[in-house]
Amino acid sequence: MGFRGMRIGISNQFGYRLWRLRNLLRLRNRIFQGSVGLLLVVAIALSGSLSGCSLRTAAARVPQMVFATPSDPSTFNYALNDSLFSLFVFGYLYEGLIGENGLTRELEPRLAESWKVSDDKLKVEFTLREGLRWSDGQPLTADDIVFTFKEIYLNPKITTGVKDILRVGESGAFPSIRQIDDRRVEFTVPEPFAPFIRNVGALFIYPAHILRESTQKTDSQGNLLYLSTWGTDSDPRKIIANGPYVMDRYISGQRVIFKRNPNYWRKDDQGQPQPYVERIITQVVGSEDGQLLSFRSGDLDAFAINPESFQLMKQEEQRGKYTIYNGGADPGSRFFGFNLTKAKNASGKPFVDPLKSKWFNNQAFRQAVAYAIDRDRMVNNIYQGIGELQNSPFDSGNPFMMKPEEGLKVYNHDPEKSKKLLQDAGFRYNEKAELLDTDGNRVQFVLLVKSEEKARVSVAAQIQQDLARIGMKVDLQVLAFNSIIKKLTSRDWEAYVGGFGGGSAEPHSGVNIWSSKGDLHQFNMGPREGEPPITGWEVTDWEKEIDRLFIAGARELDDQKRRVIYNQFQQIVQEQLPFIHLVNPLSLQAVRNRITPIKFSASGGAFWNIHELKNKFIVGCGAKPHTPHSIYLPRQ
């Protein structure tokens, strides 16, 4: 998959507000490790052929690539983003101080040419490249860095998930930042913090000369003007950027058009400006079938291969003049989870029916469900054998992943064990083999799943079948992704088949998911900034232990010792099962042979190095269309 998701060097990067962190913080993580490479590293696939000869004629005049997105962006303001489908915009427009190499996952300079850490590990100094400019030609200086962090990311009046990855230690204190001179800034943390450089370096930088006033003035209701700045009703040409592209046009429901940023800092070895491709078009196309059709007809030159299309795509590989790249298991996670909150809304109404909440919060109940799900059947039938079982929050390419042979608890399909666990916990079966709780209530709940991904809907349908075999009644609710997000953030759900983007090698990238106070701690979401007050929110002892382990893991700078800490975390997750991890498909992507150089990896995708990509040739009207690329946005 192409731009793998805004993996902000954290997770998922990349998503609601953070992964919104890309997989940045996915984000990321497809957030996105900090620049187009990791921040857009979000899956590429959908389609969107340009209609009419006029656009294809335009393609003959300038090098361009055409991507696709399942939905319109919800905002052009990254810090305020709460939709996964907006993330593709930001990776084109912005960069952070540093980013991750899409192949090696090693840190690389971006806006900063270098950085250094003090001997006591409490200070990090970044030095900006000389001569950086915003897309409007104004200088990009250390003042912009200080402004971005102090006035936006750490502004108490601005609600953003980015805050989660900037908290340090048990106190959750934020780093301080000071400007040394026009090119140097210094961050100070209250204690050693292993993920700090990746987390801070990956966050996008904003133009102080454009946005400072909006962070200081309020509207008639007392809200910062910034909160209504750079919405999708803004003139896209007035969105000032520092990344490889700027926005040129936005047509709601159709496309976003980007053009090369003439003030982007990158140049090749011969001193030629990068990127080489002049224009990128992202078409709004929600159908996977449409994506496949567009690729096969030549309108796209990249397609993220799903299980249903693999055999056909493989057969046509040579004739279609494309190469199918295999990056191994897709980074990130896919899971089944229950809503464990016991909280009540501002009116005193429980978010989850107390009857069902009692089931969901029973550890034996969750483990019984895990044993009942036939994940091997998912691999063979739904993923056509091109996937692997996932038993950990970390993907198999992450060096911190704990393996079953190291003692990690796993749940192989065993429906009889599932039934015994339920009966030992007080559940019973009636004469129809229906599962009843201790009070005689039928065990029945609603399973939420997004409609845009066929495989995920099939997974939910299989879970429905598997749980029916142990007497549970599961009602599927298949909704568009943006509707899913609203339900998750409002706690209006019972069970969910979802996923988070990945890609970062840093375990702390998932803190916004696993911290009990995290913005993406969706299985037991605590109070969130800007929402009506909730009551009765409880944090379990095992959630508190995960909080402690993440603090300890971030403080520890030795990777071997960190591995011990994160092994304990993974074991707790597998014992308690806030998420029942399912299957990770292989990361497969078809890319036209004329797009070079492709440096494919599961974490970086095909286009993490977008600045150096070239089209071997461009054709015009009357010839077979070759309008490149398509971005298929990350999952959630």
Per the structure, the count of domains in the chain is 3
Tokens coding 587: 């990361």
257 domain residue, yes or no = yes
Higher pLDDT, 456 or 617: 456
The dihedral sign for the CA sequence 501, 608, 79, 77 = negative
pLDDT (tens digit, 9 = 90+) per residue, 222-271? Answer: 999 999 999 999 999 999 999 999 999 999 988 999 999 999 999 999 99
**pLDDT of res. 407:** 95
Backbone angles phi, psi at 465, to 5 degrees: -70, -45
The dihedral sign for the CA sequence 15, 20, 23, 29 = negative
Whether residue 369 has pLDDT greater than 60:
yes
Q: What is the CATH number of the domain that holds 147?
A: 3.90.76.10
**pLDDT of res. 630:** 29
**pLDDT of res. 503:** 63
Alpha-carbon distance values, 177 to 111, 184, 203 (Å): 17, 11, 14
Tokens coding 542: 């095992």
Helices (H), 36-168: 52-61, 87-93, 142-147, 162-166
The dihedral sign for the CA sequence 166, 170, 171, 175 = negative
Whether residue 211 has pLDDT greater than 70:
yes
Own/partner long-range contacts of 384-388 (Cβ < 8 Å, ≥24 apart): 384/307, 384/308, 384/310, 384/311, 386/307, 386/310, 386/585, 386/586, 386/588, 387/307, 387/329, 387/583, 387/584, 387/585, 387/586, 388/329, 388/583, 388/584, 388/586
- The alpha carbon of 415 is separated from its chain's Cα centroid by a whole number of angstroms, namely 33
Over residues 349-377, mean pLDDT: 98
* 305 and 345 belong to one structural domain: no
**pLDDT of res. 490:** 95
Contact 525, 491 (CB under 8 A): yes
> What is the overall mean pLDDT for the chain?
85
Domain with 127, as residue range(s), is 98-215
Distance between CA 153 and CA 166 in Å, rounded?
9
The answer for residues whose C-beta is within 8 angstroms of residue 9's C-beta and 6 or more apart is 21, 24, 25, 27, 28, 29, 31, 32, 33, 34, 38, 96, 99, 100, 165, 195, 198, 199, 201, 202, 203, 504, 506, 509
367 domain residue, yes or no = yes
**pLDDT of res. 1:** 31
pLDDT (tens digit, 9 = 90+) per residue, 185-196? Answer: 999 999 999 989
244 domain residue, yes or no = yes
30 domain residue, yes or no = no
- Helix then strand then coil, in percent of the chain rounded to 5, is 30, 20, 50
Q: Which residue shows structure tokens 């977008």?
A: 610
**pLDDT of res. 67:** 78
Name the 3-class secondary structure at 574.
helix
**pLDDT of res. 192:** 92
Whether residue 617 has pLDDT greater than 80:
no
Contact 121, 557 (CB under 8 A): yes
Whether residue 462 has pLDDT greater than 90:
yes
Whether residue 556 has pLDDT greater than 80:
yes
* 127 and 198 belong to one structural domain: yes
* 104 and 91 belong to one structural domain: no
635 domain residue, yes or no = no
Over residues 476-494, mean pLDDT: 94
pLDDT category at 14 given cuts 50, 70, 90 is: very low
Backbone angles phi, psi at 346, to 5 degrees: -60, -20
**pLDDT of res. 466:** 98
* Helix (H) / strand (E) containing 333: strand 333-338
Tokens coding 248: 């040129």
* Helix (H) / strand (E) containing 543: helix 541-555
Lowest mean pLDDT of 42-51, 152-161, 496-505, 519-528, name the range.
42-51
pLDDT category at 278 given cuts 50, 70, 90 is: very high
* Helix (H) / strand (E) containing 302: strand 302-304
Q: What is the CATH number of the domain that holds 289?
A: 3.40.190.10
Whether residue 202 has pLDDT greater than 70:
yes
Q: Which residues are bridge partners to 64 per DSSP?
A: 279
Q: Which residues are bridge partners to 227 per DSSP?
A: none
DSSP letter at 75 equals -
Whether residue 306 has pLDDT greater than 80:
yes
DSSP letter at 615 equals E
Distance between CA 563 and CA 554 in Å, rounded?
11
- The alpha carbon of 271 is separated from its chain's Cα centroid by a whole number of angstroms, namely 34
Distance between CA 453 and CA 459 in Å, rounded?
10
What share of the chain in percent tops pLDDT 70?
87
* Helix (H) / strand (E) containing 450: strand 444-450
Alpha-carbon distance values, 341 to 132, 365, 515, 539, 546 (Å): 47, 16, 14, 9, 17
Distance between CA 117 and CA 430 in Å, rounded?
65
* 45 and 78 belong to one structural domain: yes
DSSP letter at 545 equals H
Distance between CA 549 and CA 235 in Å, rounded?
46
Tokens coding 398: 């992450």
Whether residue 478 has pLDDT greater than 90:
yes
pLDDT (tens digit, 9 = 90+) per residue, 101-138? Answer: 888 888 999 999 999 999 999 999 999 999 999 999 99
What share of the chain in percent tops pLDDT 90?
65
Distance between CA 262 and CA 242 in Å, rounded?
10
* 365 and 470 belong to one structural domain: yes
- The alpha carbon of 204 is separated from its chain's Cα centroid by a whole number of angstroms, namely 15
Q: Which of 501-505, 604-608, 626-630 has the highest mean pLDDT?
A: 604-608
Q: What is the CATH number of the domain that holds 360?
A: 3.10.105.10
628 domain residue, yes or no = no
**pLDDT of res. 171:** 84
Task: Count other Cβ atoms within 10 Å, centred on residue 477.
Answer: 16
630 domain residue, yes or no = no
* 310 and 398 belong to one structural domain: no
pLDDT (tens digit, 9 = 90+) per residue, 282-292? Answer: 888 777 788 88
Among candidate residues 537, 566, 534, 536, the one with its CA nearest the CA of residue 550: 566
* 488 and 565 belong to one structural domain: yes
Whether residue 610 has pLDDT greater than 80:
yes
Higher pLDDT, 289 or 632: 289
Contact 98, 24 (CB under 8 A): no
Distance between CA 67 and CA 4 in Å, rounded?
13
Using only C-alpha atoms, the chain has a radius of gyration, in whole angstroms, of 24
Distance between CA 343 and CA 535 in Å, rounded?
6
Whether residue 365 has pLDDT greater than 50:
yes
**pLDDT of res. 84:** 63
Distance between CA 399 and CA 30 in Å, rounded?
18
* 416 and 285 belong to one structural domain: no
* 495 and 408 belong to one structural domain: yes
* 205 and 155 belong to one structural domain: yes
Lowest mean pLDDT of 92-106, 110-124, 439-453, name the range.
92-106
**pLDDT of res. 496:** 97
* 521 and 556 belong to one structural domain: yes
pLDDT (tens digit, 9 = 90+) per residue, 32-72? Answer: 333 333 333 333 333 333 333 344 444 446 788 887 777 88
* 346 and 244 belong to one structural domain: no
Tokens coding 406: 């190291």
Whether residue 308 has pLDDT greater than 90:
no
Lowest mean pLDDT of 368-372, 529-533, 594-598, name the range.
529-533
125 domain residue, yes or no = yes
* Helix (H) / strand (E) containing 590: strand 583-592
Whether residue 87 has pLDDT greater than 60:
yes
Tokens coding 86: 């907006």
